[in-house]
Structure 1
Amino acid sequence: MNDYERAAEKVDNKLKFYRNLIPYVCINAFLAIINAICSPHFWWVLFPVFFWGIGVLKDFLKAFVFQDICSDEYRERKIAQEMEKLSK
């Protein structure tokens, strides 16, 4: 994998995160308003916030925290390291 492909993959992961974050914030804010107006005694809005938030968190971690671990190049390096250990 060349430098361009690695950079393109990182940019794609960041774009995926932002494309998921913006609707997450807007829709959940709208749902929170509806929840506050219609049924303020039961906060059902926390269910979509939590479960959709898991997906947003996964995209964030993949785009900004674990960039190298999620790549194919990392996998190939680890396979080479394991093969070296086995050959000793």
Structure 2
Amino acid sequence: MERNYTEAERYYEAQKKVEEIKKFYQHLTVYVLTNPIVIVVNLTTSPHYLWFLYCLFGWGIAIVMHGLKAFDYAPFFNKEWEARKIKEILEEENKKANWK
């Protein structure tokens, strides 16, 4: 079911999308600027154990997931999934209401 968007709704959706992409780039910037500090701290305090790799990898996964969501490449938890889940929850609530 296609929905006709007004110009204001389309502008609002585009504005939200730009904000989401901006937040991704901010997250990426913090990642790039913070991790060299983490690496230096690790190498100066305990060079025999490279724990910074866990930070890089863990946070890197979060960055990738954020990027996938920001640029609409998320294979799960996308808009279609959200719409299906909302419909499913509403149907369950209607069934409960009809039982009473």
| TM-score above 0.5, yes or no | yes
The 8 Å contact of residues 13 and 59 in structure 1, kept in 2 or not, is answered as no
Which residue in the other structure is 1:75 paired with?
Answer: 83
SS in 2 for 1:46: helix
Which residue in the other structure is 1:31 paired with?
Answer: 38
Q: Quick one: structure 1 residues 70 and 9, their matched pair in 2 at CA, closer, same or farther if it must change by over 3 Å?
A: farther
Q: Distance in 2 between matches of 1:39 and 1:21?
A: 26
Which ranges of structure 1 fall in alignment gaps of 5 or more residues?
Answer: 80-88
The offset of 1:4, in angstroms, is: 0.7
Which residue in the other structure is 2:14 paired with?
Answer: 7
The offset of 1:65, in angstroms, is: 4.2
Q: Give the paired residue count.
A: 75
The offset of 1:9, in angstroms, is: 2.0
Of structures 1 and 2, the one scoring higher in RCO (CA 8 A, sep 6+) is 1
Higher-Rg structure is 2
TM superposition score normalised by structure 2: 0.61
The offset of 1:71, in angstroms, is: 3.6
Which residue in the other structure is 1:60 paired with?
Answer: 67
Which ranges of structure 2 fall in alignment gaps of 5 or more residues?
Answer: 88-100
The 8 Å contact of residues 28 and 63 in structure 2, kept in 1 or not, is answered as yes
TM superposition score normalised by structure 1: 0.68
SS in 1 for 2:40: helix
Q: Quick one: structure 1 residues 70 and 4, their matched pair in 2 at CA, closer, same or farther if it must change by over 3 Å?
A: farther
